[in-house]
Structure 1
Amino acid sequence: MPTVTIPREIHEQEAVAALSRQLGSGYTVEPLQREDKEGATVRHGVMSYATVRLSPEGSGTKVRVHGGGLIISRLVNEMGIARTVASAARDALDPGAAGQTCSR
């Protein structure tokens, strides 16, 4: 599961807008629509999707990205779209971190 730490507080609407801009029109980014957690669902086609979870950590926000799907497709999505989304989150939400890698 790729994880990115953003050194400031991020909320769901900001994350959705930033990911939409960064990923472009080939991806659909929607709010997670859960009252107990903030995040987003990112889709790239029918079988390719990832769930983004935002959790406060100190004065920053931890962004965790999980590939979605059933057993095999989940593995593929963890290695593909989840990494792409984590990199997009880092680049869009923390411009000072450009060129850094995401932790796993």
Structure 2
Amino acid sequence: MNTDDDGTLETRLVRVHGRVQGIGYREACVRRARALGVTGWVRNRMDGSVEAILQGSPERLATMCAWLSEGMSVALVDELEVTEMQPPRARFDNFERLPTL
């Protein structure tokens, strides 16, 4: 189960702008999300940004967003756009890397 004790499950769309492609950012993102118990997916976008759908408790999502912003030392994140997505949304079972959009 990917929620904390209160059972709250939130979904966020995140866009990461900066130097985040070609450095292993997505793979590191997958490893970190799985370690935190966050589900969803991550992919590169043609504009050079990285996009992710994150699902989990508010606390876990806050930790994951903090990592996305500054957790990988070789990444240079200029901007992190976080949009809370309102239910109903599909429940993800894991976290995976998708092809570039």
Whether TM-score is above 0.5 comes out as: no
Q: Which one has the bigger helix percentage?
A: 1
TM-score norm. by structure 1 comes to 0.44
TM-score norm. by structure 2 comes to 0.44
Higher relative contact order (CA 8 A, sep 6+): 2
